[in-house]
Chains A and B, each alone.
Chain A
């Protein structure tokens, strides 16, 4: 009896040893060299696998970081400068600093400002509505309010406001990965430079139609009057196709344009209330999102 047990053990050990030797040589022969630094860099990345850098996942981004000599256009928006500096330290390379950014919803067509004149009862997906028609309100550029942007957000940083029927970005959670920008069929969402105390000034409209047409559909549309463009002391505002755009890199947050806008299309967010002196109109108080 014990002989059988011993024989079995002996056979298994021999087969195991032989297999181990064969496998050792095979592994030596077919070894794929992988830079150990890739693992290290991957460790330093946020492991969100959100695709915000333009690569399928953090591992692919780490590989690219190790292989590339210059890091032009390579940036992890989720980890930000801190993460990039860490990765740079591991590889002994130089990180290109980028200003942190945040998603901004450039539409303020609430039911109050943009009346809904028809009712949609089909598939509740923005992209399908966009392919079908202009939406419940008449504006062909306005938010469709079905929340395609909410669905794609991996960071729970965007949600729909049931009252305004518009998405709201939570600045602290937003990593500027750009998933919502991709998902929005109307290109309403823009990534803008993050300012101190999350303050921002932007034109909350992307309608390029003529002023009268835009205004007919939505009372807070940019009508392309150029008043903000004229008042801006820093040349941060450009006019293009009846639409004003504020460059967040040039804007110094002076708030002069906000008062000037006749349709209240320019929003200032998280600013302290203005001192109401006689020359300034009262309506220029902080408008939304605060």
Chain B
């Protein structure tokens, strides 16, 4: 089989998939969970419970506010301790519901059996409705509400469903574990999503460093309308625009979405969650999180309830090693360092990575030597050195002209820079400022 890849830029960091091949371990709920009401892109949800209320697993605790927003369900059964502001992964305090766990009682409508349910009489509208109710968001990390993606805007037509099993971030293995263990459900989920979107063709893209997953999925999809495509290992292949380009040679226009070229992309985790939601009536109350690090005694793939504190996960994976200098929420390329271990796992948490002292330090920043390596590796064809300088000088109009908003924040530029310049830090700042300017312009 020939391997494909996206054509522009990209890097290949060391993979370090320490927890690959480890089975998914289902963790029991912790003693206390904190469930933030803003775990997705879009408007924060409206809290539906009060202090002292008894809740059970799967009960709606925060309702979607607007079109781009989602429902949030209780991931445990117990008593609501507080509805207050709690520190999120950035340390800033945002609205969340704190629940004291008592027992593990689930809502009756949830089918908790492992039986595979394949055939459905549901229409695409029913599927979308169920996904909306279950609060499914993109589990690859961007947490964009899934029901919004399923609504193809008027005048556009979805032709392909692309399922993202790339997992290009080093260290992370949760999607790999999912494809190996839940492949039947995943396949059923893919067919559901195809029905929801009304498309005939689906492609599952998997990077070549997971040959077992490629083989397994290929065998299972033989004779169906789902095609499995192996991909060369290259970061950031899991970005939707890169994946569309790699699989179909279609270029998503600047500022556009994959639907502009007739494609909708979902992560394998999202598809699996959608299967659970539609076939088992199970809202998004847990997710698979990789807990990994070179000094960690048991790098693992955990299935944990949303709202579980990170410290609980680290403890279950063998405890915090002494030489840990940084704890990263996400992968090493796009993840952000945590300032506290008390923050909860949210819908977008794909991994917890512990980095050792000797690897954690940033190198000393040197002047730009105009080597243009950052330009060469940028998968969006931007000029990171220029964007950084413009952001530093506050030249936001020029920054907008240079298409700073196309940046997917993959960090390939910072990774490759021989002068260790903080390119992405400044580009992110520039994006934030340009975003503000664009919003005020829209409002006027």
Contacts and interface: CB of A to CB of B under 8 A. Distances in A.
Given A121-B361, A123-B422, A131 B429 contact: yes
Contact of A134 (B85, B90, B422, B425): B90
B93 A128 contact: no
Contacts of A127: 429
Query: Which secondary structure dominates where chain A touches chain B?
Result: loop
A122 B422 contact: yes
B372 interface: no
Interface string A101-131: 0000000000000000110011100011001
A140 interface: yes
A180 to B, nearest CB: 15
Contacts of B93: 140, 209, 213
Contacts of A140: 91-93
Taking residues whose C-beta sits less than 8 angstroms from the other chain, chain B's interface range is 10 to 19
A134 B429 contact: no
Contacts of B92: 133-134, 140
Contacts of B248: none
A51 interface: no
Given A118-B339, A121-B362, A138 B425 contact: no
B195 interface: no
B377 to A, nearest CB: 20
Nearest to A119: B325
Interface string A126-149: 011001111100101000000000
A138 B422 contact: no
Interface in B175-198: none
Interface string B69-110: 000000000000000010100111100000000000000000
A134 B362 contact: no
Interface string A202-227: 00000001000100000000000000
A122 B429 contact: no
Contacts of A117: 339-340
A131 B428 contact: yes
B336 interface: yes
A59 B432 CA distance: 32
B426 interface: yes
Contact of B90 (A121, A123, A133): A133
Contacts of A121: 361-362
A138 B91 contact: yes
A128 B425 contact: yes
A123 B414 CA distance: 12
B244 to A, nearest CB: 29
Given A133-B339, A134-B339, A122 B91 contact: no
Interface in B384-435: 422, 425-426, 428-429, 432
Given A133-B90, A133-B91, A138-B91, A123 B361 contact: no
Nearest to B432: A131
Nearest to B336: A132
Contacts of B429: 127-128, 131
Contacts of A128: 422, 425-426, 428-429
B82 to A, nearest CB: 12
A130 to B, nearest CB: 9
- Among A122, A133, A209, A213, chain B packs the most CB atoms within 10 A around the CB of A133
A231 to B, nearest CB: 30
A86 to B, nearest CB: 33
B415 to A, nearest CB: 14
B427 to A, nearest CB: 11
Contacts of B87: 134, 138
A48 B92 CA distance: 39
Interface in B318-350: 336, 339-340
Contacts of B336: 132-133
Contacts of A135: 91
Interface of A: 117-118, 121-123, 127-128, 131-135, 138, 140, 209, 213
Interface of B: 85, 87, 90-93, 336, 339-340, 361-362, 365, 422, 425-426, 428-429, 432
